[in-house]
Chains A and B, each alone.
Chain A
């Protein structure tokens, strides 16, 4: 139960960062922390009691393996997270050129 609770606390830390921080780059980093906690949750879900890493050894092919499907899902999700973070960083750099500041309280051109 303890590892799942720690994943949840990490998610809440990231969420707190997105809500309260004023600097744009800190919001982007908190978004990354949130998604890393979900990857930990995925890797924990596939655990089987007494299992080893799911790599087939030619000398000893029949053993109890940990579930490899969540690990494949985490690999795909890591690449998707990389693309999202790269996109966010490019937009932040261009916002700095246009507005001259990283402070989110100054960037409120669109209202209503």
Chain B
């Protein structure tokens, strides 16, 4: 796919890093402010999609990118499921138990397992939205040539 003009390329080079950092901020502060895994994951995916749209890419690079992002997506979900199953080993031995110490109200390292769930759900949502975008673009590329 062709890229866009020079102004768009320079602007996205400046902005993509800031959007990525803002997405990570929303994911990590998920237990203190609104947001969490889903919203932060969409923001992180947004920064990648912005770069791909602005600079253009060819078919080989896109397929390599897609295998990488589907691998990240599956690994992140498996880690989240194993974290949920780990509640069966500690404490009251129930599924999905919050077994880490809970800390004080308002700190970043507090509320037990919730920040860990947020981080892995954030990685998973970002990878899967990137995969959806790449799958549609690859389909358009390979059937129009």
Q: Report whether B132 and A93 are in contact in the complex, using a CB–CB cutoff of 8 Å.
A: no
A89 and B33 contact, Cβ closer than 8 Å, known pairs A58-B106, A79-B38: no
Distance of A75 Cα from B135 Cα, bound (Å): 25
Which of B34, B105, B136 touches A90 (beta carbons < 8 Å)?
A: B136
B143 within 8 A of A: yes
A26 to B143, CA, bound (A): 24
Chain A count of residues within 8 A CB distance of the other chain: 13
Q: What's the nearest-Cβ distance from chain B to residue A27, in Å?
A: 18
- Flag if B106 contacts A75 (CB, 8 Å): no
A86 CA / B128 CA spacing, docked (Å): 11
Closest A-chain residue to B135, C-beta based?
Answer: A90
Contacting residues, chain B, for A94 (C-beta < 8 A): 139
Q: Is the CB of B136 within 8 A of A55?
A: no
Binding site for A on B (CB under 8 A): 32-34, 36, 38, 105-106, 125, 132, 135-136, 139-140, 143
Q: List 12 A-B contacts (CB under 8 A).
A: A55-B33, A56-B105, A58-B105, A58-B106, A75-B36, A75-B38, A79-B125, A86-B132, A89-B136, A90-B136, A94-B139, A97-B143
